[in-house]
Structure 1
């Protein structure tokens, strides 16, 4: 049986040690366009190792970059999950930051299958990875949503309803991010060497006119835009970002992110709702179901 839900949910977490250096962080920031206007604003807090700040979204690639050696995103190897990787789509990403990330460091990453939902013609697998630093201090918790075509029919539980609409009022802030034609070539050096993001022939075989940008690159670009445009450049204020990947972005296109303030939580954090779209394709959605939490 391709998916055994009970086995997947009851399996022990996988545990591995990860490490990253300032060079990994610098490359990540450059791959998101940091320092693009170096003549007027080199963004030294993101592009220079002295007093280097770390964008919270770096957590999604920590341990996968140049310090880890040559590689690609690891295969899907978890108990109870036996699927064809060609049927897999990265459906969503979530991140909670428990403390500001150091510019270099090590962590223990514990990964598990948090949920498996039967969507009829597909399965939705939710992975959770929790990183702790020295002394078992929590650093971040990450969730990854994986949509697997053709793998439904293993249970009668489709999971909770997931309807979502943007607020019915003008956005409080609108942020525009431009990408460059070589953006995906930069971003893949963070660890995901999938040829879909580099090889035109491979991209055409997958049904795209040209290589597309990584979903996690769009995620990072929106996170950086939020830090720059709403949080006055203070990376430590962004404590959470969750999105669904709604459509591809081609390197060279833009992302327009609408931002709505959505109240204050009991712990004092501010909540924002986001919607990211591509203006070059008549506002086609790129990221939906998006929320951010921000320290005041």
Structure 2
């Protein structure tokens, strides 16, 4: 299944994509795509519904974040060996974990706002894991049982805030609009091997990132297991799994996002995102 949320920010409704790629309204069945509807039993109930029996959504509504009420937005740094190399950093002996503020989350095609005082805004296409049930001290062999599905993430970053302002990476990762997720969550039964997915990103039509999850240092199973050793993962939590090479920071010379740019990115089988870039205007 491809589950999504559509409508104005803060008032999104749940939806499902039918076989023809048309949005069908799920609001008569569930209240939202979020923590209460991501366990296996809830997803099985949705799977039993014939989407053609649901009301079609007319027009071209805004697509919101594919999951609502996210409690934690975890990210894994330097998880592709070739990206670590372009960053002039060693491959980490254990996964590098950091957080994005959940307030950074936005829809997949919402405008990305360059924050006040930003000098080095950057892009990162990533595979996102959506947790489906409470996970604490999960064994690696069982880790995929805790995954509801997968989505596209753009881990938008401000490198000066992240690297040059001392302290944790989180302040370079958490500006409003720095976490586009979606367009939909694809349930895990439709992603037989999350380690065999192509992912890519373009700026104004120029391809900068073109990678595959096969080259992850730490795969999905290990990441769910690993993160659950340090905190309890809850339904709806997102783990963004790292980015392949081709980020702006790794270019020679370096390239940074500018107002007027268009980012287009996707992960094989999980859909595409398109974001216009604007400067912070104080509104």
The question of a shared fold, defined as TM-score above 0.5 by the shorter chain, is answered with no
Q: Which has the higher strand share?
A: 1
TM-score, reference length from structure 1: 0.30
Structure exhibiting the larger radius of gyration computed from Cα positions? 1
Greater RCO, 1 or 2 (C-alpha within 8 Å, sep 6+) = 2
TM-score, reference length from structure 2: 0.31
